[in-house]
Amino acid sequence: MEGSSSSVPSLVDYYNNSGLPAGAWLVGPEHPALEELGLRLLATASSARILELGVQSGGFAVPVILAAARRERFAYTGVDNLEYTNAVPLRYIATYLGLHGITRGLRFVEGSAGAVVQAASSHAYDLILIDHYKPDTRSICTRFVRAMP
């Protein structure tokens, strides 16, 4: 069963106890506003199909997934090439979500976003978050924005 458990540590506590060095992850103060915006954008959608390019430490991913994972048409794809020093191996984020009982609808890709974007249909996502500049940002925007009705 998917759901939150009060015995699950916060993401920050999870990272502090994981053995990852403190400089290897960052959950910044900008995140609550960004997550709230993402959830407001999804509020009117009949599904919650999310693509995040630049997962880094999961500061956006985790709260949004925890809020949206119970929706019938939920899917999350997170891509990170782990180029930045504060990007954690995505298995840490997947494991953390598993502590909350969330495993369905998750896809984490360590590598370039290009292949993920090229494989997606033009209406594959309800929300796309591009965190920082990515070399294929222009092709991503062109592919999906032109397809919008």
Q: What's the pLDDT score for residue 84?
A: 87
- Within a domain: 1: no
Q: What's the pLDDT score for residue 1?
A: 39
Nearest-angstrom CA–CA distance, 45 and 2: 21
* Cα dihedral 130, 135, 136, 140 sign: positive
Regions in the chain scoring below 50 on pLDDT: 1-4, 148
**Partners of 79 in beta bridges:** 53, 109
Q: What's the pLDDT score for residue 146?
A: 52
Q: What's the pLDDT score for residue 57?
A: 93
- Within a domain: 5: no
Domain that holds residue 40: 11-145
Q: What's the pLDDT score for residue 79?
A: 94
Q: What is the pTM of this model?
A: 0.84
- Within a domain: 106: yes
Per-residue pLDDT of 3-45, as tens digits, reads 445 689 999 999 999 989 888 898 876 667 888 888 888 888 8
The residue among 55, 23, 33 whose CA lies nearest residue 134 is 55
Number of neighbouring beta carbons within 10 Å of residue 130: 15
Q: What's the pLDDT score for residue 113?
A: 84
Q: What's the pLDDT score for residue 132?
A: 60
Contacts of 21 (CB under 8 A, 6+ apart): none
- Within a domain: 6: no
CATH number for the domain including 43? Answer: 3.40.50.150
- Within a domain: 3: no
Nearest-angstrom CA–CA distance, 121 and 104: 21
- Indicate the number of domains in the chain: 1
53 DSSP assignment: E
